[in-house]
Every structure is written in C-alpha cells, then in structure tokens.
Chains A and B, each alone.
Chain A
Amino acid sequence: EDQVTQSPEALRLQEGESSSLNCSYTVSGLRGLFWYRQDPGKGPEFLFTLYSAGEEKEKERLKATLTKKESFLHITAPKPEDSATYLCAVCTTSGTYKYIFGTGTRLKVLA
C-alpha cells in the first residue's frame, strides 16, 4: 500500500537552530515528491518538487533532498516566520494521477 510518513509530528527550535524534517515514503512508483508549507487558516503553499534520487532544491533557508526511500527538508538558521506546518506529498505512477499526503510536521521557531 502506498504510504507517506512524516516525522517528527511537531518540532520546536530556537531561532538560528538548524534542523531537518523527514518524509519517508513507500510507493509502487514515484512520479514526484512535493513539499508544501501551510500556515494556519490558509491553503498549502508549494515549495519544491523533486523527481529523482539525488536531486536537491533550495529556497532561502530551505533545502529539500530526495533518496529512493525518503526526503528531507533542511532548515538552516530558521527564523520565527518559518513557523508553519510542512507537508510532504508523493504522486504515484499507478494508474491515474494519485497524490498521497503525509500528516505534516508542525514547526515552531522561537525568537
């Protein structure tokens, strides 16, 4: 069964304290892996798409990496405005387009 698991569920960091969020996946065939940021009361905001193992994408303090079994979202020197829920999703190649979301990591960055 296709599955996406994110860890940790919640993470509290001090401002400037770098860390990583994990997204592990089990799918029959990976078409792409996506990271989104979701602020309270808003829709998920697209961050990155990764397609193949070894691929990396960067945006400001965020860097996403992909292996054959998992993806990491590295946050370098976070700021309070980075506080949000970060969602990981995969698109599988089985049949029609099928997107499976993880339950997210709630990140709180303290000033």
Chain B
Amino acid sequence: DAGVIQSPRHEVTEMGQEVTLRCKPISGHNSLFWYRQTMMRGLELLIYFNNNVPIDDSGMPEDRFSAKMPNASFSTLKIQPSEPRDSAVYFCATRGGTDTQYFGPGTRLTVL
C-alpha cells in the first residue's frame, strides 16, 4: 500500500495567489481529514469528510479556505487568496475501519 499521497510536497507562492493542495487517500479508507501544523499551534483539524461528504468544517479558518472531495480517491484544499499567515505544513490523514488515522507526508506551504 502506498499510504496517503500528498502533492505538492513544497509550495512557495506570493501573497494573493491561489494555492491548491492535493491528497489521495489510502484505498478503502472512507474518512479523510485535513490538518494544519505550525510551531505555535501544533496540529489543528481543518475539515473532515466521511464518504466524500464534509462532516465538520468548523476548523476552517475563514472563507479563503475551501475543501472538496469529488470522489473516494481524491481531495483538494484550496486557499484563495493566500496570505503569509497561511504558511504552515498541511497534512492529509485518512481512516478506514478503525479509529486510527494515517497521515500523509504533508505539504510545506510558504506564502511570501
């Protein structure tokens, strides 16, 4: 199993630009989570999908952030427009038949 796949691994962009982060879950996992990790705040849950449906997006910081899961094999997290304070590592995690989440390698985002 390839595990959770995220792309790109690194993204550097300028303030105001649109950023799209991508995640491919582990095959057969029906829950997908997007997290943001910073030194100050640690890991924060942004949004959670179950069977491709958004269940809890209370962690999405503001309307500039949006997430979609068009099918069981793909999810995106979009930031538009991006701001320097969005700089962080963004992780995708998935869960199958147990309560355990499995994390991807993350996308390190730098907004200049």
Contact = CB atoms under 8 A, between A and B. Distances in A.
Interface residues of A, number: 23
A49 B98 contact: yes
Contacts of A95: 56
Interface in B1-31: 4, 31
Contact of A45 (B42, B95, B103): B103
Interface stretch (A10-18, A20-28, A61-69, A100-108): A100-108
B103 A96 contact: no
Interface centre among A44, A95, A103 (most CB of B within 10 A): A44
A43 B103 contact: yes
A62 B80 CA distance: 43
Given A96-B56, A97-B31, A99-B33, A46 B100 contact: yes
B60 to A, nearest CB: 14
A32 B43 CA distance: 18
A72 interface: no
Interface in A44-86: 44-46, 49
Contact of B91 (A32, A43, A49, A102): A43
Contact of A42 (B33, B42, B95, B106): B106
A83 B110 CA distance: 27
A88 B25 CA distance: 22
Contacts of A97: 31, 48, 50, 55, 95, 99
A51 to B, nearest CB: 8
A91 B99 contact: yes
Contact of B104 (A43, A49, A87, A102): A43
A44 B103 contact: yes
A40 B48 CA distance: 25
B98 to A, nearest CB: 7
25 contacts: A32-B100, A42-B105, A42-B106, A43-B91, A43-B103, A43-B104, A43-B106, A44-B91, A44-B103, A46-B101, A49-B99, A49-B100, A87-B43, A89-B43, A95-B56, A96-B48, A97-B31, A97-B50, A97-B95, A98-B45, A99-B45, A99-B101, A101-B43, A102-B42, A103-B42
